[in-house]
Amino acid sequence: MENLQKVLIIVNPISGNIDKTDIVDRIVSVLNEKNIAFEIYKTTGENDHAEIVKILDRQKFDRIFVLGGDGTLKMLAEVLKDETTAVALFPTGSANGLSVNLNIPDNLNSQIDIALGGNKISIDMLKIEDEICLHISDFGLNAELIKNYEASAIRGKMGYLLQSLPTLWESRYPFDFTIKYNDKEIKRSGVFLAFSNAQKYGTGAVVNPNAKMDDGIFEVLIFKDFDVKEILKTLSNEIEFDPNIVEIFPVKEVEVFCHQPVSFQIDGEYCGEKEKVSVKLSTRKLPILIP
Ligand SMILES: Nc1ncnc2c1ncn2[C@@H]1O[C@H](COP(=O)(O)OP(=O)(O)OP(=O)(O)O)[C@@H](O)[C@H]1O
């Protein structure tokens, strides 16, 4: 174990509808046993970016523990400028896509061991206009599903399942895209187009089987048709898609223009309908502790 002096613990009290008191108590008792100082910040949902910047400006932390979902982590990623402070995940959101991709276990003691251990990966982050994306962002059918899910009362996987048929029924797919990258311009039609730095969605569906989160590139994925056979492959561990249905290519920077406004999402948060987005690798990476 590195010589850890001080840890910042960021707790989102509402994420995933989970009471985190016992989790925090357990973490605190381990830190006390090991004589590691700590500070706890509870998010409020208002002004958290600015409050965390103030805390990080005031002092240096060796580690930051995050108890929340993808949204809480993304908020930290947007303000954490010091790439030597590694982040530990305690996945407690309704969507924990990054933890799923990094194989963070469910067991709290294992999570604490990882958080205090020395195994790290510095993941690439995507910059989409002014926002950070940590794993997958997309145009089309999946973003429409997230929009309908956010408007419904039922959370979790069942909530997504219940919204899947109405989403398919109402969708105006296929969507027409013009994609500009590496001085090329191509036109494609598809049910969804994703920018992906990760292999899977938080639900576990594998859409970008060969992705590496720290390789300095990300992938553009286009599902050209609503093909049940190819969609079922995302739920298995099969890693070869039919190239006539699924096109995947690596980029460092890309611009996508839609021929009409299309639903768009970043890391599971619906962002409205958009006609154009520019995506590039962030100049910063995010160091995360892994098993
Ligand atoms: N104390 C709080 N009260 C209400 N909202 C909060 C609070 N703290 C953080 N938030 C909100 O929590 C969201 C981030 O939650 P996160 O994505 O980490 O977990 P989640 O369970 O996946 O949440 P969601 O179901 O809303 O996506 C942000 O929208 C943030 O504004």
Q: Is residue 190 part of a domain?
A: yes
Q: Which ligand 1 atom sits closest to the C-alpha of 13? A: 1
Which of 118, 147, 180 terminates a domain? The answer is 118
Q: Read off the pLDDT band of 131 (50, 70, 90).
A: very high
Q: Is the CB of 12 under 6 A from ligand 1?
A: yes
233 vs 14, residue with greater confidence: 14
Q: Read off the pLDDT band of 154 (50, 70, 90).
A: confident
pTM: 0.91
11 and 108 fall within a common domain = yes
101 and 149 fall within a common domain = no
Q: Is residue 88 part of a domain?
A: yes
Which pLDDT score is estimated for 85? 96
Domains of the chain: total: 2
Contacts of 239-242 with C-beta under 8 Å, sequence gap 24+, read: 239/206, 239/209, 239/210, 240/209, 241/209
- Residue 230 in this model has a pLDDT that exceeds 80: no
* H or E element in which residue 39 lies: strand 37-42
In a mutational test of the pocket of ligand 1, which residue from 10, 12, 18, 41 has the highest number of ligand atoms less than 8 Å from its CB? 12
171 and 110 fall within a common domain = no
Q: Is residue 289 part of a domain?
A: no
Instruction: Please tell me the distance between residue 71's alpha carbon and the centre of ligand 1 in angstroms.
Output: 6
102 and 140 fall within a common domain = no
Which of 118, 140, 175 terminates a domain? The answer is 118
Q: Is residue 123 part of a domain?
A: no
Contacts (Cβ under 8 Å, ≥6 apart) of 239: 206, 209, 210
Q: Is residue 171 part of a domain?
A: yes
In a mutational test of the pocket of ligand 1, which residue from 42, 48, 72, 90 has the highest number of ligand atoms less than 8 Å from its CB? 72
Which of 88, 118, 148 terminates a domain? The answer is 118
In a mutational test of the pocket of ligand 1, which residue from 10, 14, 131, 201 has the highest number of ligand atoms less than 8 Å from its CB? 14
Q: Is the CB of 43 under 6 A from ligand 1?
A: yes
36 and 168 fall within a common domain = no
Q: Is residue 125 part of a domain?
A: no
Query: Which value does ipTM take for this structure?
Result: 0.95
Residues of the domain holding 87: 6-118
Q: Is residue 150 part of a domain?
A: yes
